[in-house]
Amino acid sequence: MTTLFSKLLTKADIENGLSIPASTLGPLPFQEGHSMNMHVHDGNGQEWIFSCSIKGNESVGRFLSVGWIEFVRERNLQVDDNVTILEEVMKNRVTGTWIKIEVKRKIRLFGKDIWADVK
């Protein structure tokens, strides 16, 4: 698997939608204002369809805005949870790639911080 993007969630990511700076994704094939759907799979194998659009502003430049509020609510995501989007090449099934999403939350266990999967 190849990590495409990873970040600690902010209040804006949870309330308004996930923002992914274009600089972390490489050149975006679309212009500002274009939209698309991103099909992702979670650790349970469930498919989610996130609506995405290319946006921009002077302070951060171009970014991918990901509509994922239903996912946020169902998983009860919180500020500082870590979201990672990965590309997984499928060899045993139909040849192709899957986009996978993983979310982890830092918890304190026996006096140590560990990152646990949010399911």
Q: Which residue has the higher pLDDT, 102 or 55?
A: 102
Q: Are 32 and 62 in contact (CB under 8 A)?
A: yes
Per-domain boundaries in the chain: 2-117
* pLDDT given at position 50: 93
Looking at this protein, which amino acid is placed at residue 1? M
pTM of the model: 0.80
Structure tokens given for 32 = 């500002």
Q: Which tens digit of pLDDT belongs to each residue from 13-60?
A: 999 999 988 777 666 566 666 788 888 999 888 999 999 888 888 877
Dump pLDDT digits (tens) for 77-88. Answer: 999 999 999 887
Q: What is the predicted pLDDT for the residue at 102?
A: 94
Whole-number pLDDT of residue 45: 84
Residue 93's pLDDT is 55
Residue 84 CB: number of other CB atoms within 10 A?
15
**Res 74: pLDDT:** 93
What tokens does 102 get?
Answer: 């993983």
Instruction: Determine the pLDDT at residue 95.
Output: 54
Domain 2-117 has CATH 2.40.330.10: yes
